[in-house]
A and B are shown apart, each in its own frame.
Chain A
Amino acid sequence: MSTTEITAPAGSAAGVDPITFEVIRHKLWSINEEGSQTMTHVSGSPAVHATDYNFGIYAADGEMAVVGVYLLVPIYTGAMAIREFLSRFDDIAEGDVFIVNDPYIAAEHQNDVQFCAPFFHDGELIAWIGCMAHQVDLGGMDAGSWCPTATDVYQEGLRIPPGRIVREGKVNQELWDVVIANSRMPFVVSNDFTAFLAGLKVSGERLTELCDRYGGDTVKAVMGQSIAASERGLRELLQELPDGTFEHTSYLDRPQTSSDPGAPESELVTVSCRLTKSGDELTFDYDGSDEQSAAYGMATRAGTVGAVATLMLCLFGSDLQWNHGLMRPVTVKARDGLCVTAQPPTPVSGGAAGANWVAMNAAAGCIAKMVSFSEDHKGLAFGPGDGSWQLGQFGGLNQYGEPFASMYMDSLLWGGPAFADRDGVDSGGAMVILGGGTQDVEQHEIGQPLLYLWRREVADSGGAGRNRGGNGIEFALVPYDTDEVSGVLATHGCALPNRTGIFGGYPGSVARYEMVSGVDALAELRAGRAITRLDAAGGDHVILPSVTSGAIIKAGEIVNVRLQNGGGYGDPLDREPERVLRDLLDGAVTPETARDIYGVVTSGDAIDEVATTARRAALRDERRAAMIPPGQAPAAGATIQEGTWGDALRFVRRDGRSLVECAHCAAELGPVGADWRALTGTIVLRPEQASPLIAVHEELAVQQQVCPSCAASLWVDVVPRDGMGWRDFTLQSAGEPAAS
């Protein structure tokens, strides 16, 4: 195919013709897949087999060019790592492989060891290949190196600064040995490192073949054009959205660190995000978040920016190619020393899924509020996607008398968020790992001395809504064929739902660890007594704190892990009764929730339509009765374009004024320019009114905005009891600051 005479078509940068471009683009994909597959084949790590890894090809300057679909956050930290190598070292040579896991520089936490190899062709740096996998142990105070009770970083796993693990083809054995010597599972780590090198080698060889055939410049140009095409696509999309600021705040709850006897059991770390959209640029500003502190959940800048990048890929990568183009229009603003930009020696191993996940949630809330101003793009919106990673790491002696340590990936099986046009995915809705899941029960039971009592979907655990949040699972384990096991259990989202719904949808369930002692579950079973519900198990029940390290669970005792799940979209009273009935028959919602939250009354397997209509009217009446009516809104003279905002609002022009209407009943709420919430009725919901499976911290409240006229649920949020300090949106139009 001739590459010289064909002029560059619209939409593709100068250089490579569209046919060669498409052929090389697909080959780059295959090469990435081949490298990734080689790595997983060689790896002996259960984390890799549970898809806690990724593999990517980066441009010469470190931008993501081709990325795999497994754990997403590290794909961006890889780009940060490469930029760090480029700035630190001026002698980068062919055959080098760099290593880093320092979270303050370029990793979510110490377990995530990244290997990056510069790729040269004819002496020129063409690209980088990077891979990462969660290492099962790199030392520190807790087996597994996930040290949730650490108070400084020196109690945690080994930190590896940027450096060379292979220099010009020769392994740096001294460094290798230092790392291995610090692991409780040296064989597995060493094997993973071998796997990294195998994957890098294979994909490097294939890249060499590709460059030999098409030329290094051409391959480079294809990566550049791919990135540019995605950037252009995203910028065009952003131009179609209104300028303005969009805010969302969420909280990381953790065991109280204050010794004040009057302090609540858990404390809240505030993570607030303020998104400014201007033209085709996005700025996520976290400066309003809490300062770092020497306890659980602190995230580094790498983890936080990586989380934002994950969100950008998943939000805008449905139609656009996944690469750095989706991050070029993005700035993340956060000063050093916040809970999302922790500095040494703040402990950070538990922050891999801590404050940065809350930051990702907050950013998701902001973006949902932004895209929902566009009819064309509101389908992209979802509420906070991934609430909390519920670490369930167990260790001790297994049934064969051998030491074991195992992280249960079952915790990944939460429900996904609801969208405008569909329910959330049940038990497997994770955004951070799109292509992954967990192992079979049998696979766990043959390797670990823990018997499952159940692994099942939990009714009502997804938030209610016109479209329902996905339900997630709970799983109960009993030590079996061993005396006891120890557990590291750590998460957040126990004292509040991080996963609030949007446009009137209700929050999903909170996370919960529950332990039952004083009963021998195994003896019960052997006596022919099935244990089918935790509350029927007898014994002493303890709801564990969100962070427990070194919990001892004896044979016959029960640990139950229930996940935090997806929020709903839209008012549950608008859900078609037939869909509620189907959920009821499938056991996805309980009769109580069908009646009290969805307002659906059934008789047998059918809907009682008359009773349902009456029930829904009564629930609306209850809302009106409970509602604090809107205050007198200040009349601001702002004008904005006509249009809608998700399921909630409609903006109209009448008599030269911009007005806000309820999108459900078209009742006029007031003038544009006030905080929209001030134009609506406000209800403080009791937790059980929003979901039978949530808890709400005493400093917070579940607040619902309703239409004062039709009582439709417009928004449900978790806000500070003493008033929220943020505004959902403030639009900018035609040069004048306007509506909010």
Chain B
Amino acid sequence: MSTLLVASDIGGTFTDTVTIDADGEIGRYKAPTVPDDPAQGVLATLELAADERGQDLAELLRSVSLFAHGTTVATNAMLEGKRATVGLIQTRGFGDTVPIMRGFKSLGLDEDAIKSFRSLVKQELVVPKRLIGEVTERVDYRGRVILPLDEQDVRATVRRLRDAGAETFAVSLLWSFKNDAHERRVAEIVAEEAPDALVSLSSQLLPRMGEYKRSVTTALNASLRPVVRRAVRSLDGRLRDGGMRTEPLLMQSGGGLTPISEIDEQAASTVMSGPVGGVVACQYYGDLDGQRNIVATDMGGTSFEVGLILDGEAHIANSTWVGRHEIALPSVSVRTVGAGSGSIASVSGGLLRVGPESAGAVPGSACYGRGGTRPTVADADAVLGYLNPDNFLGGRLKLDVEAAREAIRIHVAEPLGLGIEEAAEGIKTIVDARMADLIRAATIEQGYDPADFALYAYGGAGPTHAFSYGRELGIGTIVVPLTASVHSAFGVAAADLIATEELSDPILSPPGTVDHAAALDPAGVQARFDKLSAAATARLERAGAAPEAIRLTRVAEMRFRFQINELSVPIPDGPIDADTIRALVARFIESYEARFGEGSAFEAAGIEMTTFRVVGRSPAARPTLRTFDPGAAAAAEETTRAIFSDGAWRDARVLRHEALRPGLEIDGLAVVEMKDTTIVVGDGQRASVDDRGSLVIRLAA
């Protein structure tokens, strides 16, 4: 009987795998990723899992009932310039849509970079100008054809792009989401002229108003398709050869799983496949913990990432960024700042800065003893005593504290006239404040106060710093899950099958409208949603979902006319009539004021429903976890260690992970040394171990 649930997060450096047995037992495994052959890392972790069970690999693979994974293949292809060569076809007169970028030269840059006029330039184009072709045609804002498609022109353009090297095609014509006939016809002609090439249509991938993002996203998608297709087919083949019988599922940026056979047309929707797993895992734990609003924080070596769970749901944005490129497909919103354990501290003009420059894996922080000489956040943590030089990463890496002290002395302490410990604490204070500022910005942007959230911390350094950035924000509950070190993989295991269908087909009410139901035609709204619901249901059924398990939610994106800010407003189940519309408008106004402030609603301008979306979900194989029970393993001895905090050396309690028991309480200042991270409980804080093995840190009463 196949009963093993396997979830892998294939990262750039490591592949993490979580297994969940029929009885809810969790296994955690890690192996290096082989970039050119992602299957290798997955198989290596499964070897470990098989060893642990006394099985051979084939036996284990045969018992897999569900295999899901997150992958960085699309992201890496973008960052390393390994996308396929794409030819982009646009409406005549608008072939410069992508190069013009609506005139923005600041996309994807932070404020410091924007302020540097001397070096402020646009990012590299996703399609070079010579691979963009124009075709004669024009559709208007209502979807009416003004100028018919010139098919001879299309043929000539396709041939030119093909001969110029296009391996794959993207078609993005003006107003195609209102009338897709021209795009579909172009696709047919491409199939005739370049039969081997894949074609991505903007009207299928992203039927939304706004030709710039639609074009860029479609072009990126087209260029990622061959890459993602190759990678998932190879993984599937290797696992099946090994004996696995189930079709792999893949994590999408939107936080849902989909079978690899369904991902092909939406390759660009996998760019956040890795990072979103962590947020989904927090959502899962939040459900169990009764936490509806969660800040999910991942502090790694080079960056700090923040996602939000709002009222029990992962916050989804309409787009995501890879470097300076925006992909306008729904994505679990993750904000990033260049602050991690490898961020370098430097002094310039008497001012101390931390990051965004990072020491990376090579040479790494000074304390890693791999040749790094510039001080990092990890060096500060080592100097301050938070990290145990002899038991870092479970003893796998011995830290050179002297090297860390020396780096801080030379580069920070002496230039600022500070003691080494004061300088180290300064570095920590600055990076913690920076992370707290980012969390604050992320929550405020959604109209929330960070103090109303629980904070979950994971990633290599998150559990070490969370006590501090959480305190800075006045957050009452900080949770470090037991699966913190393989958190994204766990999230992949916990995710649902999701199919999202959307349509941008604006309807609006005129200025001064009193009864919006008269203008925002209920029957029309109903018809739009029916079409989308049918499509989402069909996709989930193709993915193997049982019809009765499918849950559909309907959302309208709305805004006041003449405004840019849109809000997603849910529509309850049931038929849509005039009262539904009136209630919807009332809810929109209420949410708008809640988010943007009292008095911000601008009803007099009229209201516009811009985009209609149906999200269908069905559980893939929701794990049931066993109560955390460390068994009878002897608790390691407890020690104390000096930690420099608030300007003085103080004694801190030090526990090994083996000591954790449900119900255990730990008063700060204390350190818990896990296999893959170090958890710090701050002064005035009290931590307790819950039934799932999570450490929950609260302000001591």
Contacts and interface: CB of A to CB of B under 8 A. Distances in A.
Contacts of B111: 29, 33, 69
Interface in B346-393: 347, 349-354
A611 interface: no
Contact of B429 (A19, A38, A473, A530): A19
Nearest to B437: A30
13 contacts: A11-B350, A19-B425, A22-B351, A22-B430, A187-B602, A198-B599, A426-B99, A427-B96, A434-B120, A438-B102, A442-B209, A445-B141, A446-B506
Interface in A531-583: 532
A6 B422 contact: yes
A322 interface: yes
Interface of A: 1-2, 6-7, 9-12, 17-19, 21-23, 25-27, 29-30, 33-34, 37-38, 41-42, 44-46, 49, 69, 187-188, 191, 194-195, 198, 202, 229, 232-233, 313-315, 317-319, 322, 379-380, 399-400, 402, 409-410, 412-413, 416, 419, 422, 425-431, 434-443, 445-447, 451-457, 473, 480, 522, 525-526, 528, 530, 532, 585-588
Given A2-B647, A440-B212, A480-B140, A187 B445 contact: no
B684 interface: no
Interface in B599-626: 599-600, 602, 604-605
Nearest to A313: B115
Contacts of A232: 349
Contacts of A22: 351-354, 430
Interface in B308-355: 347, 349-354
B490 to A, nearest CB: 32
A439 to B, nearest CB: 7
Contact of A525 (B104, B138, B434, B506): B138
Contacts of B565: 41
Contact of B141 (A27, A435, A442): A442
Interface in B97-114: 97, 99-106, 111, 114
Given A434-B120, A456-B93, A429 B105 contact: yes
Contacts of A29: 111
A532 B91 CA distance: 11
Interface string B395-435: 00000000000000000000111100010011001100110
B578 to A, nearest CB: 21
Contacts of A446: 141, 209, 506
B352 A18 contact: yes
B429 A34 contact: no
B103 A437 contact: yes
Contacts of B81: none
A643 B646 CA distance: 53
Given A454-B93, A525-B138, A419 B118 contact: yes
B147 A526 contact: yes
Contact of B563 (A27, A38, A44, A526): A44
Given A41-B597, A532-B92, A10 B350 contact: yes
A440 B211 contact: yes
Interface stretch (B58-66, B122-130, B275-283, B459-467): B122-130
Residue among A12, A202, A442 with the highest chain B CB neighbour number at 10 A:
A442
A1 B130 CA distance: 57
Contacts of B605: 44, 187-188
Contacts of B595: 41
A243 B510 CA distance: 63
B130 A585 contact: yes
Nearest to A226: B351
A445 B138 CA distance: 13
A550 to B, nearest CB: 24
Contacts of B209: 440, 442-443, 446
B1 interface: no
Nearest to A311: B117
B602 A44 contact: yes
A197 to B, nearest CB: 9
Given A19-B426, A436-B103, A442-B209, 10 more contacts: A2-B647, A9-B416, A22-B430, A38-B597, A42-B599, A379-B118, A429-B105, A440-B212, A454-B92, A455-B94
A451 B146 contact: yes
B349 A233 contact: yes
Contact of B122 (A38, A425, A530): A425
A195 to B, nearest CB: 7
B211 A442 contact: yes
A367 to B, nearest CB: 12
Contacts of A379: 118
Interface string B204-234: 0000011110000000000000000000000
Nearest to B597: A198
A588 B95 CA distance: 13
Contacts of A443: 209-210
A1 B99 contact: no
A525 B101 contact: no
A419 B604 CA distance: 48
Nearest to A236: B349
A522 B146 contact: yes
Given A194-B600, A525-B138, A530-B150, A425 B349 contact: no
9 smallest CB-CB distances across A and B, nearest first, come from: A11-B350, A454-B93, A437-B103, A19-B426, A437-B104, A586-B129, A428-B103, A413-B103, A318-B116
B560 interface: yes
A641 B101 CA distance: 45
B93 A452 contact: yes
Contacts of B510: 400, 402
B649 interface: no
Nearest to A319: B116
Interface in B133-155: 136, 138, 140-141, 146-148, 150
A18 B106 contact: no
B351 A194 contact: no
Contacts of A21: 351-352
A17 to B, nearest CB: 8
Contacts of B119: 318
B444 interface: yes
Interface string B471-514: 00000000000000000000000000000000000100011000
Contacts of A30: 437, 440-441
A453 B134 CA distance: 13
Contact of B115 (A34, A191, A317): A317
- Please indicate which of the listed interface residues B147, B510, B605 has the most CB atoms of chain A within 10 Å of its own CB: B147
Given A428-B100, A434-B115, A525-B146, A44 B560 contact: yes
A456 B94 CA distance: 6
Contacts of B117: 314-315, 317-318, 431, 434
